[in-house]
Chains A and B, each alone.
Chain A
Amino acid sequence: AQTVTQSQPEMSVQEAETVTLSCTYDTSESDYYLFWYKQPPSRQMILVIRQEAYKQQNATENRFSVNFQKAAKSFSLKISDSQLGDAAMYFCAYRSSEWYSGGGADGLTFGKGTHLIIQP
């Protein structure tokens, strides 16, 4: 079964600065997708960015970009020009290319999250 590890329970950054959230995962598959979701205090789960394992080019969405290192099984999220509205829990997630994932339902496998604090 796949596992996703986020080693930073909490990160703090000054407004307007850049912060990087780390994520590593374990899989034996070659084709999969990786996602970053944001959960603000309102509890919504909001998709931030996604990356296909077969694409070498790192995904970017405005101020958000990833550093995808397939061999190292690493998928970090960089937030540039941090804003107060970026304060949230950030979850890294993995989705298998296989419909049946060995006893697990076909959904996202999440890391335990990183709580991002933005200092004004």
Chain B
Amino acid sequence: DTAVSQTPKYLVTQMGNDKSIKCEQNLGHDTMYWYKQDSKKFLKIMFSYNNKELIINETVPNRFSPKSPDKAHLNLHINSLELGDSAVYFCASSQGTGVGQPQHFGDGTRLSIL
């Protein structure tokens, strides 16, 4: 049973397209996150979402928007894809926003922009 699952695992698309990555967690957690890992393996937080409260990293372009249909899902929508969006995107979840709560990560989605 996968705790945090992302689909698809790989996504290849052309510049200018709009795409979505789905994330679901079955841990009963109430806080979810999206991270971006670039080609140099650097991981950076993009969003955190808890109880309908979204916190956005100010460096994230507004072409990126997370959508949460319910507590178990936090999908990532990306409009007008650019070459620089090529990266691995990780979804994560934790129970609450307590600073010590461990975050459980999905396996990542590798997005490649042609």
Do A and B share a complex? yes
**Number of B residues with CB within 8 Å of any CB on chain A:** 29
Residues of B participating in the A interface, judged by any CB pair closer than 8 Å: 33, 35, 40-48, 50, 55-58, 88, 90, 92, 97, 99-100, 102-105, 107-108, 110
- Chain A residues near B48: list those with CB within 8 A: 105-107
Which chain A residue has the least Cβ–Cβ distance from B57? Answer: A105
Which chain A residue has the least Cβ–Cβ distance from B40? Answer: A112
Total cross-chain contacts (CB, 8 A): 73
> How many residues of A sit at the interface, in one of the four size bands?
20 to 34
Interface of B is mostly: strand
For B41, B43, B107, B110, the residue with the greatest tally of chain A CB atoms inside 10 Å of its CB is: B43
A110 CA / B99 CA spacing, docked (Å) = 15
Residues of A participating in the B interface, judged by any CB pair closer than 8 Å: 31-33, 35, 37, 39, 42-47, 50, 52, 89, 91, 95-97, 99-100, 103-110, 112-113
